[in-house]
Amino acid sequence: MSTPEPTPSARKTELLEAAYAYALEHGLADLSLRPVAAAIGSSPRVLMFLFGNKDGLVKALLARARSDELAMIEPLNGAATGLPEATRHVWTWLAAEDHRPLLRLWAEAYARSLVEPDGPWAGFAESTVNDWLGVLAACQPESEQTTEHGLVRRTLALATLRGALLDLLATGDVERVTAAVELQAGILGSSAEL
């Protein structure tokens, strides 16, 4: 049985939020404690005391980003809207301009988790896949949720959303990518009985 983590201090929470804002703007690739500390009004020593080291801070930032992601998809959890509607709803959120910093951070962490599977990135990509598959499953009819076909359909929806997101982040072409997501959502709707 694991011991619950102690409640973080107000100062740790404050610095985490400030570091998170910094990471949303600057990314994680070249994250270094000294510039982060200077930007958020702290010191590298304080950050090391609170987070252990740079990897500890990165882990905390990834957990914070995942928290935002889960908060965004929470309204879908258990909503029996159906997979096509859920795909459209999620895409609307993903395509919103003001979500791009979080989504760029997500894409960076996802890619790093794949190419650097150890350290602070460990398991990030797999965890987000499982998070999203769980949410999409909850949007499917109960009779489909536990079937192999249901798993394949939500995997297709997730692959569509993830690929469309990467394309959108690379090109900024909302209209073209949204049309592709709409087409795939329609196909998901027509394949429900297959």
The CA distance from 57 to 70, in Å, is 20
Mean of the pLDDT values across residues 122-133?
Answer: 92
Residue 8 Cα distances to 13, 14, 16, 91, 183, angstroms: 6, 10, 10, 34, 45
Q: Domain residues for 110?
A: 10-190
Q: Is residue 4 part of a domain?
A: no
Give the whole-number percent of the chain exceeding pLDDT 90: 63
Determine the Cα angle at 159 with ends 126 and 164, to 5°.
115
Q: What is the pTM of this model?
A: 0.83
Q: Is residue 5 part of a domain?
A: no
| pLDDT of 2 above 60 | no
Q: Is residue 2 part of a domain?
A: no
What is the CATH classification number for the domain harbouring 50?
1.10.357.10
Furthest-apart CA atoms within the chain: distance in Å: 59
Work out the mean pLDDT of the chain and round it to a whole number. 89
Q: Is residue 174 part of a domain?
A: yes
Count up the domains in the chain and report the number: 1
64-78, 101-115, 160-174: which range is least confident on average? 64-78
| pLDDT of 67 above 90 | no
Q: Is residue 129 part of a domain?
A: yes
Predicted confidence at residue 80, as pLDDT, reads: 54
Tens-place pLDDT, residues 147-159: 999 999 999 999 9
Residue 171 Cα distances to 12, 164, 168, 176, angstroms: 37, 10, 5, 10
The CA distance from 166 to 172, in Å, is 10
Q: Is residue 28 part of a domain?
A: yes
Q: Is residue 86 part of a domain?
A: yes
* Closest by Cα among 22, 20, 35, 166 to 103: 166
Q: By the 8 A CB rule, do 15 and 46 touch? A: yes
Q: Is residue 3 part of a domain?
A: no
Mean of the pLDDT values across residues 9-20?
Answer: 92
Paired tokens of 165: 């997101």
